[in-house]
Amino acid sequence: MTTTTGMPDFDEHVAYQPLVGTGRRGDQVFSGLARGSGILVVALVAAVGAFLLIEAIPALLKNRANFLFDRVWDLDDPAAPKFGIPDLLWATVAIAMIAMAIAVPLAIGVALFLTNYAPTRVARPFAYVVDLLAAVPSIIYGLWGIKVLLPYSRDVQGFLSSTLGWIPLFKDAGVSQGTLFLAGVVLAIMILPIVTAISREVFAQTPPAHKEGALALGATRWEMIRTAVLPYGRAGVISAAMLGLGRALGETIAITIIVSQVAGFNFSIFNGGQTFASKIANNAAEFDSPTKTGAFIAAGLVLFVLTFVVNAVARIVIERRKAFTE
């Protein structure tokens, strides 16, 4: 029934379909292929985790620094590499949070517009336009961000750091090229379509009886949305946001293009930096010794675990909502 949110309903055909077939050879081969493909998918995900772990462990054992807490990345001596992830984690989380802070409210607005405000004739093509945003490759967002949006973002950053500069988060870091802030803004545009698509689906599923009931009691349109549509869609919107977050954490090329690499570290979003993904992408040419490769793969493993957890939580929220509404 749904594309992105739907966990299938396994009991749908159970009553009237032969599950095992007739035992003829064609049936055996065909069901074997189907089952095999399913198992292959499970095995693939397991293999991703296993291979990354196998490659990362030797490098992690040689690591002279604390992987989770030391802010160093020095792989020049293959016998005694020092690498830690807190800088990467900060940049990744900061960009993702900026993107979420902009994209989620905007996406809820767009989804409400498409389901409750726009006339149906207009809503269809507009929904299509938002879907097209999702089709634009991320390298083009990156290119556009650094070549076109950068001057505008400088103005906004100048304004924010002069008014809110006393908060460390908004302190001017003296970076004139791409910052975490700019990357967050571009990423917000990139995850907007996903969050919008799923929110739109759940808002559209609000039972008409709830909406008409609210309107019949004299509610204005906004009151109807606040009392009927939003409570119904809350779990769906949360999981949509989580899926957007998963996408934001793993985005590579747009961030690699936009965010400038800087030496100094501080907690300002107007600073440069590197995320897990951009660190790996920036150093793809350096995969020459097992230890070096292992260090980057260890960073990739952390990213894999992060996105796995975020996506799994999103799916569980959808599942529970489904169980609740049915």
Question: Which ranges in 113-264 belong to alpha helices (H)?
Answer: 120-135, 138-144, 150-164, 180-204, 208-216, 221-224, 230-250, 253-258
Closest CB to another protein among residues 45, 209: 45
Cβ-Cβ contacts under 8 Å for 76 (sequence gap 6 or more): none
In angstroms, give the least distance from the CB of 204 to another protein. Answer: 15
CA nearest neighbour of 81 among 304, 289, 277, 325: 289
* Binding-site member from 175, 295, 303, 317 for another protein (CB under 8 A): 303
Q: Which two tokens stand for residue 58?
A: 């030797």
Q: Is 83 helix (H, G, I), strand (E, B) or coil?
A: strand
Residue window 80-119: x/- pattern of binding to another protein, with contact defined by CB under 8 A: -------------------------xxxxxx-xxx--xx-
With binding defined as CB under 8 A, does residue 253 bind another protein? yes
Q: Select the span of 63-71, 202-210, 259-267, 280-288 touching another protein (CB under 8 A).
A: 280-288
With binding defined as CB under 8 A, does residue 121 bind another protein? no
In angstroms, give the least distance from the CB of 150 to another protein. Answer: 13
With binding defined as CB under 8 A, does residue 61 bind another protein? no
* Binding-site member from 63, 196, 268, 271 for another protein (CB under 8 A): 196
How far is residue 129 from each of residues 9, 79, 139, 186, 249, measured CA to CA in Å?
30, 53, 19, 18, 25
Q: Is 218 exposed, middle or buried (0-12, 13-18, 19+ CB in 10 A)?
A: exposed
With binding defined as CB under 8 A, does residue 257 bind another protein? yes
Window 205 to 244, contacts with another protein (CB under 8 A)? 218, 220-223, 225, 243
* Binding-site member from 67, 94, 138, 182 for another protein (CB under 8 A): 138
Q: Select the span of 60-68, 70-78, 144-152, 175-183 touching another protein (CB under 8 A).
A: 144-152
Residue window 169-188: x/- pattern of binding to another protein, with contact defined by CB under 8 A: --------------------
CA nearest neighbour of 107 among 213, 190, 219: 190
Closest CB to another protein among residues 37, 120: 37
Contact by Cβ (8 Å): 275, 91: yes
Cα distance between residue 177 and residue 179, in whole Å: 6
